[in-house]
Amino acid sequence: MSDLKCGDVELNRDEGGLVRDATQSHIKVKNVYNPEDVAAIEYETEIADPGQYPFTRGLYPNMYRERLWLKSFIVSYSTPEETNEAFKSYIKNGMNDLRLLADLPIQSGIDPDHPCSWNSMMCGGMSTYAINVYEKMLEGIPLEGVTYELAHQNVSSSIFFHGMLFAMMEKRGLNTSTLKGNGICDPIRAKLVYASPDWPTEINRRVCLDHIEFCNQNTPKWKAIAPNGVDPCQAGMNAIQEIGVVLAVASATIEDLQKRGISIDDYGSMVVSLDAESDFFENIAKFRAIRKMWAKIAKEKFGAKTKKAMHMKIGIRTSGLSLQWQKPLNNASRVAFQILSCVFGGVGSIDASSIDEAVGLPSYEARMYNLDTQHIITHEANIALVADPLGGSYYLEWMTDKFEKDCNEFLKDIEERGGIYECLDTGWLNAVMEENRLKIQREKAEGKRLIIGVNSFKGEEGPINKEISNCAYKVPTEEMRADKIKEIKEFRETRNKRALFECFRRLYLDTKEGRNISRAMIDGIKEGMTMGEMCGIVRLGYGIGYDPMEMLPTPDYVQEALKECL
């Protein structure tokens, strides 16, 4: 059909046509799928009913009729008081998974009065340097019967903030074995994406195992590690590489635990964190494939005997990278479809990004949109009524099978290169991530990957888009940052010096002599030990400098505490 003209406007019938024949992760697809494409897939062994091995269709027979997914998002504003108020408001409106975060200096293992802290202090999260801040943040919020998640980037943060929750429960006389939730605590992700300065990989790997061992014994409802694919994916890896890295980290963790006498059945289910990008069917296939693959790995490689040990529980962060500051109203569609793909994929928890997240920290109303979207999917669209409602789709089953085959090839490559830690140390993982990131950039530049409102269909931004941009949370003032530095200096003066120094010594010696550091750290937290002090003393126990940034000497008071040990 020829183009049509109407006055000065030319109507192009082919405008907006498809420019791709592959998914977001470059999986080539046909225009139609039929029974022949899935003829080799045996239902009983490769798909099965929900709740049955290999759990492709979901972990539980009744899925969301039995239990809905957890609804979470990071809540961490500039002050503990503001964060506390926000938590209580969101809980009233349906949030049932409390996700905590600290600012970048704290996640890097330094306190707010470190010279490197100033520019990023209280940005993207609170400066939760010690237990006094956590107590304010969670005032009036129960510690028992609540699911907490730690979204921090580093192993040091995962163990420290679990220790904060544990210490608060002990101080209140609560049953610490009821503490429920998980932290990421992924040694690979900490270095692959963030190159975090707090601890080198050797310490991260050891402390991660200490943390898992302590949690298994003392907080069995807390999953101490959640191998993370979100950040590697958003840093450049495609979906196949993302789940490959997550499976490799999960496998390496179980191998390390077995050396400590902890079996996969002792450990139980594996919790992981994955990204939900904008490719709808690719997301669903990815979630089904990784669940299926882990069940096989757990049973065939590690000898898992219980269903629980074969379970992989998937927590989702919808893709913040997919959100755009241009025409931010479009982000509402992106977030809604990403959430929907998660529900179709049978995930266990969803941390949905907010429509204004490309502009700044999300506004209150954007957060409420996240929750309401999930409520609409549940109660109006009725998506949750049936377990795996897209199961049996020729396309989806073919895609799930394709994911498994391609991911197994990627895992084989990792093993042949010496395993996941060797692939990190040699830089191979970084190269894989960078290669795909550049490929995506080229596709966008060449118009082979369309981002609506950015490189196609740009249109004009009206008042709604502008208002969304104006509502984003603003960064803290210099005065607030100066007050935070004054606050920590005053807090240090209030501590029981003798009790604190004893905790410093125990933490140092437990680190140096190879004992589990968790208990000494928790006791130190109860006495007011800060993140920077904990991180620095563990470094000293390994014979490296106290300061992760290699700018400052060991503080005089820390040297005084450790003078009999050094």
What are the tens digits of pLDDT across the range 100-149?
A: 999 999 999 999 999 999 999 988 788 999 999 999 999 999 999 899 99
Distances, alpha carbon 276 to alpha carbons 243, 321, 514, in Å:
12, 10, 39
pLDDT number for residue 1: 43
Sign of CA dihedral 410, 415, 416, 418: positive
Q: What distance in Å separates the CA atoms of residue 2 and residue 199, rounded to the nearest whole number?
A: 64
Instruction: List the one residue out of 436, 461, 440, 435 whose CA is nearest residue 450.
Output: 440
Does residue 3 have a pLDDT over 60?
A: no
Task: Quick: pLDDT tens for 52-79.
Answer: 999 999 999 999 999 999 998 888 888 8
Instruction: Give the pTM.
Output: 0.95
Report the amino acid identity of residue 466.
K
C-alpha 542: how far from chain center: 28
Locate 527 and state its tokens. 């006495």
Q: What distance in Å separates the CA atoms of residue 11 and residue 6, rounded to the nearest whole number?
A: 8
Residues pairing with 231 in the sheet: none
**In this structure, are residues 47 and 56 in contact, taking their beta carbons and an 8 Å threshold?**
yes
Q: What distance in Å separates the CA atoms of residue 187 and residue 201, rounded to the nearest whole number?
A: 6
Locate 264 and state its tokens. 């996969």
Q: What distance in Å separates the CA atoms of residue 554 and residue 565, rounded to the nearest whole number?
A: 14
Q: What distance in Å separates the CA atoms of residue 267 and residue 135, rounded to the nearest whole number?
A: 30
Structural domains of the chain ordered from first start: 49-471 (3.20.20.240), 478-562 (no CATH)
Sign of CA dihedral 132, 137, 142, 143: negative
Three-state DSSP at 182 gives strand
Report the amino acid identity of residue 69.
W
What would the 3-class secondary structure string for 35-76 be?
Answer: HHHHCCCCHHHHHCCCCCCCCCCCCCCCHHHCCCCEEEEECC
Asked if residue 54 has a cis previous peptide bond (ω within 30° of 0), the answer is yes
Task: Quick: pLDDT tens for 229-271.
Answer: 999 999 999 999 999 999 999 999 999 999 999 999 999 999 9
The percentage of residues in the chain with a pLDDT greater than 70, rounded to a whole number, is 97
Task: Quick: pLDDT tens for 336-345.
Answer: 999 999 999 9
Does residue 399 have a pLDDT over 80?
A: yes
Q: Are strands 147-150 and 180-183 parallel, antiparallel or unpaired?
A: parallel
Instruction: List the one residue out of 559, 513, 553, 508 whose CA is nearest residue 535.
Output: 508
Does residue 355 have a pLDDT over 50?
A: yes
Report the amino acid identity of residue 409.
E
CB-based burial of residue 550 (10 Å sphere; 0-12 exposed, 13-18 middle, 19+ buried)? exposed
**In this structure, are residues 165 and 154 in contact, taking their beta carbons and an 8 Å threshold?**
no
Better pLDDT: 366 or 291? 291
Sign of CA dihedral 340, 328, 449, 124: negative
